[in-house]
Amino acid sequence: ELVQLTASQFQTPQLKGKHLVITAGPTREAIDPVRYLSNHSSGKMGFALAEQAARMGASVTLISGPVTLPTPAGVTRIDVTSAQQMLQAAEQSLTRCDAFIATAAVADYRPSESAAQKLKKGEADLSRIELTENPDIVATIARHSMRPSRVIAFAAETQDLEAYAQRKLDKKQVDAVVANDVSRTDIGFGSDQNEVLWVTRDQSQPFGPDTKSAVATFILEQLMTLDTSA
């Protein structure tokens, strides 16, 4: 068993020759030059995945929303702010992409209008923000004419993880959904730990709690065993 473990740790890179595109972090949707809508994603899970994939020999493009994390070694990073910018970067990365992993917490909605000047009390109606639905990036990639052979979505939920993940699998036409419970304060958003449920049409496998680095390795190993011929 010791021999096996050692062998597994030092084996040849399992993702050599593969190109992975990973989205990470939140998006920010401008209300005006100062204000925005966003969410609590730290980007840590996506950055851990990019780092592990590069270590496993993959060529990695990391499309990141505004985060405060350093770029992992050997990873090509593209910084974006809004969901629309993230979609554009994602589509442009499809020319050579074997797997697309969407960890980013993309804002579902953006302000219908974004003001060029700071909105001021008394001069603008600030009592409500009208919203427009953002493009669904992972669903767009999964239905794309240049669809990569593997497309993985993440699902940040606060309840009924497995049910929502199964629904997302069908709705977004992805090969697997990685669900996690963001209502827990010990894991997920901002934390270095995570606990996930890997959900495909055939199986549902929990992993963790463990470091986001270990979770990243688990996800990449699951990704490699995915049967997409079905």
Considering the complex, state which of residue 107 and residue 215 has its C-beta at the smaller distance from a copy of itself: 107
Distance CA 112, CA 114 (A): 7
Smallest gap from residue 171 Cβ to a copy of itself (A): 10
Applying CB under 8 A, the site for a copy of itself has a residue count of 33
State the binding string over 2-21 for a copy of itself (x if CB under 8 A, else -).
--------------------
State the binding string over 168-207 for a copy of itself (x if CB under 8 A, else -).
--------------xx-----x------------------
Contact by Cβ (8 Å): 158, 178: no
Q: Hey, which residues between 22 and 81 contact a copy of itself (CB under 8 A)?
A: 31, 33-40, 68
How many residues are recorded in the chain?
230
Distance CA 4, CA 53 (A): 21
Separation of CA 162 from chain center: 18
Considering the complex, state which of residue 9 and residue 159 has its C-beta at the smaller distance from a copy of itself: 159
Distance CA 160, CA 211 (A): 23
Q: Does 229 bind a copy of itself (CB under 8 A)?
A: no
Q: How far is CA 20 from CA 62, 158, 204, 217, in A?
A: 8, 28, 23, 14
State the binding string over 152-171 for a copy of itself (x if CB under 8 A, else -).
----xxxx----x-------
**Beta-carbon neighbour count of residue 190 at 10 Å?**
12
- Is residue 180 flagged as an active site residue? no
**Near a copy of itself by CB under 8 A, which window of 10-18, 44-52, 85-93, 124-132?**
124-132
CA angle 86, 78, 225 (to 5 degrees): 80
Distance CA 76, CA 63 (A): 8
Give the binding site for a copy of itself (CB under 8 A).
31, 33-40, 68, 105, 107-109, 117-118, 120-121, 126-131, 133, 156-159, 164, 182-183, 189
